[in-house]
Chains A and B, each alone.
Chain A
């Protein structure tokens, strides 16, 4: 089965929710007009990604404005939209990935491997999530999740397509180009890991990353002393088919990637395991 998929690479200004939603909406419209049936937005595409005192006031549930809007778009365009948001459930907030399907359902995957300051602001997710769609089962990961073996072992032979949504920085000073002493070699991996996963698991991988300037905060002594790098997001979003063709890779600026991938659904019924708490909206 061949499916057109879209990876949205965009910059998201910190806390400029309306502006970010509008920008994403334009790119989603382009994806829809290009025939996409699946579109992926970066991690925290609506709030922007960066160290803040509290994400609480910007965290949303399934009936708040971001997901209400994406659900409408998904239903109207017949487009499955996967988007990174800050999710709230009761008193807890999560760095989540919401899957909006054309039937109006919304399910959320919560990032399991929080790094740096994220541990101070979010609650980690507990389990993987595989979502059943008309074109196969999708396995989800957020940013740093993808560097851990366990994440991909959990999905091996159980998914037909993998999605990674990220705000992956370059870990280099954007003015001087000097790489960070500890994390500098991690930045370029954003382009390598999705291709490796596609080859290893034998499924297409859609990777959507933020782009543009940012400040990467690395805690040194709690959050009292932290290192701030005038950084930029690595961009290099990609769509990797896994078997047939070379990956389609974006540059470092805003861009919409569209590509046709082959999804091999196994014959007969396939069991889906929904292991993560999911938000089902009416």
Chain B
């Protein structure tokens, strides 16, 4: 995918890394999201701000 700004030859390594981690990361994320289908932990601590 073309860059908006010139990133030099190192941009190719960056792009290749993004492509590889796009695949590996998607698999890792997918496994984690399946676990997350269980009832979620939520932050429910009440928190009040002072009014202006």
Chain A contacts to B: CB under 8 angstroms: 17-18, 21-22, 25, 29, 32, 54, 56-58, 60, 64-65, 69, 76-77, 88, 91-93, 114-123, 146-152, 182-183, 185-186, 189, 192-193, 196-197, 219, 222-223
Flag if A219 contacts B21 (CB, 8 Å): yes
Complex: chain B residue closest to A145, CB-CB:
B4
Flag if B4 contacts A147 (CB, 8 Å): yes
A96 to B29 CA separation, bound complex (whole angstroms)? 16
A77 partner residues in chain B, CB cutoff 8 A: 52
A115 to B3 CA separation, bound complex (whole angstroms)? 14
B42 to chain A, nearest CB (A): 7
A77 to B52 CA separation, bound complex (whole angstroms)? 10
Closest 7 CB pairs of A and B: A119-B25, A57-B41, A120-B25, A91-B36, A149-B2, A149-B4, A120-B28
Flag if A22 contacts B49 (CB, 8 Å): yes
A89 to chain B, nearest CB (A): 11
For B5, give its contact among A115, A182, A192 (CB under 8 Å).
A192
Complex: chain A residue closest to B50, CB-CB:
A25
Flag if A182 contacts B33 (CB, 8 Å): no
Q: List 27 A-B contacts (CB under 8 A).
A: A18-B45, A21-B47, A21-B49, A32-B52, A54-B32, A56-B40, A57-B40, A57-B41, A69-B47, A91-B33, A93-B33, A114-B25, A119-B18, A120-B21, A120-B24, A147-B3, A147-B4, A147-B5, A147-B7, A148-B2, A150-B1, A150-B2, A151-B4, A182-B14, A185-B7, A185-B8, A196-B4
B36 to chain A, nearest CB (A): 5
User: Given contacts A25-B49, A147-B3, A186-B7, are A92 and B28 in contact (CB under 8 A)?
Assistant: no
CB within 8 Å of A: which B1-52 residues: 1-5, 7-8, 10, 13-14, 18, 21-22, 24-26, 28-29, 32-34, 36-37, 40-43, 45, 47, 49, 52
A56 partner residues in chain B, CB cutoff 8 A: 32, 36, 40-41
Flag if A29 contacts B3 (CB, 8 Å): no
For B4, give its contact among A17, A29, A60, A148 (CB under 8 Å).
A148
User: Given contacts A121-B29, A148-B3, A185-B7, are A29 and B52 in contact (CB under 8 A)?
Assistant: yes
Flag if A189 contacts B29 (CB, 8 Å): no
Known: A120-B21, A219-B21. 11 other contacts (CB 8 A): A91-B34, A119-B24, A146-B4, A147-B4, A147-B7, A148-B1, A149-B1, A149-B2, A149-B4, A183-B10, A189-B5
B7 partner residues in chain A, CB cutoff 8 A: 147, 185-186
Flag if B10 contacts A65 (CB, 8 Å): no
User: Which one of A57, A91, A119, A192 has the highest number of Cβ atoms from chain B below 10 Å of its Cβ?
Assistant: A119
A197 partner residues in chain B, CB cutoff 8 A: 4
B38 to chain A, nearest CB (A): 9
Complex: chain A residue closest to B36, CB-CB:
A91
Complex: chain A residue closest to B46, CB-CB:
A65
Flag if B4 contacts A115 (CB, 8 Å): no
User: Given contacts A65-B47, A119-B21, are A193 and B4 in contact (CB under 8 A)?
Assistant: yes
